[in-house]
Amino acid sequence: MTTVLVIGGGIGGLTTAHELAECGVDVTVLEANDRFGGKARSMPIDDGPAALHGEHGFRFFPAFYRHVVETMARIPDGNGTVADNLVETEATLLASTTGPDRVAETGTPDSVRGWLEALRPAFADELPARDVHFLLERLAYLLTACEKRRAEELDDISWWEFTDAENRSPAFRDRLASTTQSLVALRPRAASARTMGTIYLQLLFGQLDPTRPTEQILNAPTNEAWIDPWIDHLENLGVDLRPNTAARSISFDGRRIDGVELADGTTISADEYVLAVPVDVAPTFVTPELARVAPELGRIERLETAWMNGIQFYLSVDLELSPGHQVYTDSPWALTSISQRQFWTDYDVDERGPDDVAGVLSVIASDWTTPGILYDRPARECTREEIAAEIWAQLRAHLHAAEPQLTDDVLVDWFLDPAIVETDGGVENRSPLLINTVGSLRNRPPADVGVENLVLAGDYVRTNSDLASMESANEAGRRAANAIRRRHGIPQRATIWELEEPVVFEPFKREDRFRYRLGLPHPAEVTQSLRSVTARLGGRS
């Protein structure tokens, strides 16, 4: 029987194990932490028998998350599957400190007017008409650009440059930065136009697809709704799961991996090896010899990371807010949240944790370098207590119209992601997130690298999903499993989905493929250049 050793028990590693175990492969998964699930896991906030859970950040599943949802549909849970624990959101609250709050519906439109409204950016009402038109033109450019142009040209310019943000209105720049950075871990000034534009379109198309929910979240803390049933299922499939087992290094004989040394000094061997550790950890396993044989491994260290971590506030009131996300458009730390209890229909908060907890507000901070409003320091330079107080202050500044009121006396407790660790100069992040910067596509390795018994499974692997996420990690795990299956003649293959875009744009993409082969610009660039010339000439008259 083929034996496989998976280093890392996050979504990528567990997915690889799942796919291979279903084929009868003997799989062992090593996880350095005491809980599996990586960034997706939740954890009890105390040692009680029925403790409340804290999270690295709330989980949400937009419509284009096909790989991870399909895996969830194959994990038994009670009389159904884990996928049954997904519930659809209905609306996103855009909370502002400078103007009225607005609500953006996330359900599929049921009228022509609704469809037209869904096509407009969520923050369009705050922008000059020319900015809205220009952004729609930019999206049309993306939709009609061939894949090679996207990968070889648009990956080398930033979303900020692509959308001409410096020459747009201040409102355009503010909303472009706050909304995109909050909902997905992308920085408009740093992220490539290819990645940010593609994900922006996928989120938009998700709302227009009547066959799939626009956006879903879990009906309980992540481990209870997903990870724990998954672990049980993997054990039933025969997977050897080893928590608190850290790998120290990989032994490479110049052609093959021949063992993994653990932190306790022992060595484990297998036929195949899966490196499924986070992007910031992976380079520690790449020796110079490995990088010479597989140069893609040596380029992982060039990938950049940023901070996107969560905090949960446990409240004495059930603060429902909106039936979905809340985006705090003016928050210096780019906050988003979900008021959880309205979705946790079968999860009894009253029986867990402190007696007076009635609500859970789960918040993610995506900007850790901008000074706050309470301490005038970025989150990186604050203590954990100061981070909690600052986020609470930013929430209160935005939720002044909330009912019941978000006052200090309703705050029972909070739980900040334990990956945020205090140092002498502030905090460090032991679980940073990959960000797709300009030109980073060339540094992202495939799952199947040039080592005959090594594959990769992590959200930094080159995938169709592209974005650093549990969806991309799951797809990478499938690709890793497929590579091992091919090597050993196992016929089953895990399904890999392409990102879907409306077929009406295919003729335009075919035309652009021809133009790109001839070295010609995209037609929209020609049109834009003519407009710029016309505008300059008009300004002189």
* 3-state secondary structure string across 247-314: EEEEEECCCCEEEEEECCCCEECCCEEEECCCCCCHHHHCCHHHHHHCHHHHCHHHCEEECCEEEEEE
Does 184 lie in the same domain as 87? no
Would 534 be classed as within a structural domain?
no
Would 525 be classed as within a structural domain?
no
Would 72 be classed as within a structural domain?
yes
pLDDT of residue 511: 94
DSSP helix/strand/coil, 319: coil
pLDDT of residue 335: 93
Does 350 lie in the same domain as 214? yes
Does 422 lie in the same domain as 317? yes
Is 120 in contact with 102 (CB distance < 8 Å)?
Answer: no
Give the residues of the chain that fall short of pLDDT 50. Answer: 529-541
Does 451 lie in the same domain as 335? no
Cβ burial of 109 (10 Å; 0-12, 13-18, 19+) is middle
pLDDT of residue 370: 93
Pairing of strands 420-423, 426-429: antiparallel
Q: Which two tokens stand for residue 361?
A: 């507000």
Would 539 be classed as within a structural domain?
no
**Where is the domain boundary, 207, 232, 259?**
207
Does 78 lie in the same domain as 35? no
Does 419 lie in the same domain as 339? yes
Measure the CA–CA gap between 366 and 182, rounded to whole angstroms.
6
DSSP helix/strand/coil, 70: helix
**Where is the domain boundary, 176, 207, 238?**
207
Closest to 5 measured CA to CA, from 319, 303, 257, 358: 257
Q: Residue 197 sits in which domain range? A: 109-207
CA dihedral 501, 503, 509, 514 (to 10 degrees): 140
Does 35 lie in the same domain as 119? no
Exposure b/e, 372-405, CB count within 10 A at least 16 = b? bebbeebbbbbebebbbbbbbebbbbbbeebeee
Q: Which residues pair with 411 in a beta bridge?
A: 315
pTM above 0.85, yes or no: yes
pLDDT of residue 532: 45
CATH number for 415: 3.90.660
Exposure b/e, 23-45, CB count within 10 A at least 16 = b? bebbbbbbbbbebbbbbbbbbbb
Does 419 lie in the same domain as 352? yes
Does 158 lie in the same domain as 289? no
Number of domains in the chain: 3
Does 291 lie in the same domain as 149? no
**Residue 50 dihedral angles phi and psi, to the nearest 5°:** -140, 65
Pairing of strands 267-268, 257-262: antiparallel
Distance from the first to the final alpha carbon of the chain = 80
Does 118 lie in the same domain as 95? no
pLDDT of residue 125: 64
Would 423 be classed as within a structural domain?
yes
Give the CA angle between residues 155, 160, 166 to the nearest 5°: 145
Amino acid 220 reads: A
Would 512 be classed as within a structural domain?
no
pLDDT of residue 541: 37
Would 495 be classed as within a structural domain?
no
Does 477 lie in the same domain as 415? no
DSSP helix/strand/coil, 334: coil
pLDDT of residue 350: 75
Would 467 be classed as within a structural domain?
yes
**Where is the domain boundary, 431, 453, 471?**
431
CATH number for 484: 3.50.50.60
Is 330 in contact with 178 (CB distance < 8 Å)?
Answer: yes
